[in-house]
Chain A
Amino acid sequence: MSNAGTQSLTLPDVSAGDTLPPLVHEVSTTSVVLGALASRDWRPMHHDRDFAQQRNGTRDIFMNTPNQAAWLERYITDWGGPRARIGRYRFRMGDPICPGDTIVFSGEVESTEIDDVGCAWANLVITLSAANAVKTRFSARVALPADADDNPWSRTGEQWQP
């Protein structure tokens, strides 16, 4: 289920062990360069194939870290909807993602909780794979509405403890 519209999941909709729908995308040279420049990353391994091959020893130019994070953010909010607010994420990158790779995001709800200030959280584990190999592992803590009237984006100061 995708929530890219205005609908959002609420915490009662979510349980530990739920799987997130996979997201599949074919990476192109354009999308790698677009992502690098959008994140103001001018380093040549993200737009110059000769440099990437000769200096980095990679197959081609490769997706930069902020663009992988941008894909992660899209994946999470496609699932959770626009009220879903990421509190934190952690990741470990392995092999690079290059043009021509078909990337697959997969995820699972590891746990849910309500914190001391009443904010509802889903803790997710997510992988980014290509060619049947995991390239990056993520974990993310995402605030979801506790009920239909709640909105995590309205939390500020002491009410937001990511």
Chain B
Amino acid sequence: MPKRSLIANLWCSLRHAGLLLKPMSDADDFSTGLEEALSWINQERHAVSGEFDVERGYIFTTCASVQNGNPIYWDDAVAQALTGGPTAPLTMLSAWFRPHYWMPGRETIPQPWQTHFDLKKTLALPEAVATDSEVVFGEPVRPGDRISAVETLRSLSEVKTTKLGKGRFWVIDCVCSNQNGGWVGTETMTGFGYRKGAR
């Protein structure tokens, strides 16, 4: 008997005996949770509110960490003349709605970009990386402001293969507002959730 037929016969026998699992097709493999994840597109999720007012201690520490001598952060007269009073460095935007590391009565700490982690879990993609980020700034953030944020999934790609593995790309917006409803900025994150080595 030709060698090929022997192998084919053995394969059929083992499958018939239930000793081999049916190989999953790509569609089966990467469709887990897809319908649920698609239902999140353009829906606001995970609204969070800053747990304290914007304050200058963090502003000075941030400026110190990068030796930023911009006088609008250090000289109130310059700040008044140029920016109508003190402001926070624009790139501090996400700091103002980060949760406390601990607080009484709280059992779990909310995670920034929770939608990113929800997608990993729901789509059964154990690994994920942020590939690109963009931030657009609106009104300046000022000491005394209270910043809130809400996430929205904008898109979810077809299954893609990269050098990291096989999975899906997604784009999430995090829209940030002050206590008056004024738009202060939007962070957009592109993520790739994947299975290592999957081809």
Flag if B133 contacts A90 (CB, 8 Å): yes
Q: Majority SS of interface residues in chain B? A: mixed
Number of interface residues of B (CB under 8 A): 35
Which residue in B70, B92, B138 is a CB contact (below 8 Å) of A77? B70
Number of interface residues of A (CB under 8 A): 41
CB nearest to A92 among chain B residues: B132
CB-defined contacts of A154 to chain B, threshold 8 Å: 84
CB-defined contacts of B140 to chain A, threshold 8 Å: 153
Known contacts A88-B135, A91-B132, A156-B139; A74 and B61 CB within 8 A of each other: no
CB-defined contacts of A25 to chain B, threshold 8 Å: 67
> Interface segment, B30-38, B93-101, B150-158, B163-171?
B93-101
CB nearest to B133 among chain A residues: A91
Flag if A88 contacts B134 (CB, 8 Å): yes
Is the C-beta of A19 less than 8 angstroms from some C-beta in chain B? no
Q: Majority SS of interface residues in chain A? A: mixed
> Interface segment, A9-17, A64-72, A118-126?
A64-72
Q: List 14 A-B contacts (CB under 8 A).
A: A5-B71, A31-B66, A40-B95, A66-B95, A67-B65, A70-B65, A71-B66, A77-B70, A82-B71, A82-B78, A85-B137, A90-B133, A91-B134, A162-B138
Q: Which residues of B contact A (CB under 8 A)?
A: 58, 61-62, 64-72, 78, 82-84, 89-92, 94-95, 98, 101, 130-140
Given contact pairs A39-B92, A78-B70, A88-B137, enumerate 13 new A-B contacts (beta carbons under 8 Å): A4-B70, A38-B64, A38-B65, A39-B94, A39-B95, A66-B92, A73-B91, A82-B78, A88-B134, A88-B135, A89-B135, A153-B84, A162-B136
Q: Which residues of A contact B (CB under 8 A)?
A: 4-6, 25, 31, 34-35, 37-42, 65-67, 69-74, 77-78, 82-83, 85-93, 151, 153-154, 156, 160, 162
